[in-house]
Amino acid sequence: MRIRHAAPAGAGRAEPLDIRGLLLTAAAMTPLIFPLIRGGADGWPVWVWPAFAASALALVALWRVERRRESAGGAPLVPPRSCSTPACTCRH
């Protein structure tokens, strides 16, 4: 069974849902957001720092998977080329 998203009206074929990108996004955001919510209330315990490190590693993995999917002609969940726009970069 393949999961597909709905294509906009008039579009060609629907791309399969980017399950790896979806799972890696969740894996990156959970250890980032949960410590930000609970860490301050708990006095910033030691466990928040490994959680932040895990989030950073998951973000690197997400970047690599999405870049590979985009270069293969697929539709990534988070297109890496969108981060090269002037609105997303820190360059002036």
Token reading at 37? 């919510």
Contact 47, 70 (CB under 8 A): no
pLDDT digits (tens, 9 = 90+) for 37-74: 999 889 999 999 999 999 999 999 999 999 999 888 88
Burial class (CB in 10 A: 0-12, 13-18, 19+), 5: exposed
Judge if pTM exceeds 0.75: no
Token reading at 67? 């870049």
pLDDT digits (tens, 9 = 90+) for 7-32: 555 456 677 888 999 999 999 999 99
The full set of domain ranges for the chain reads 19-72
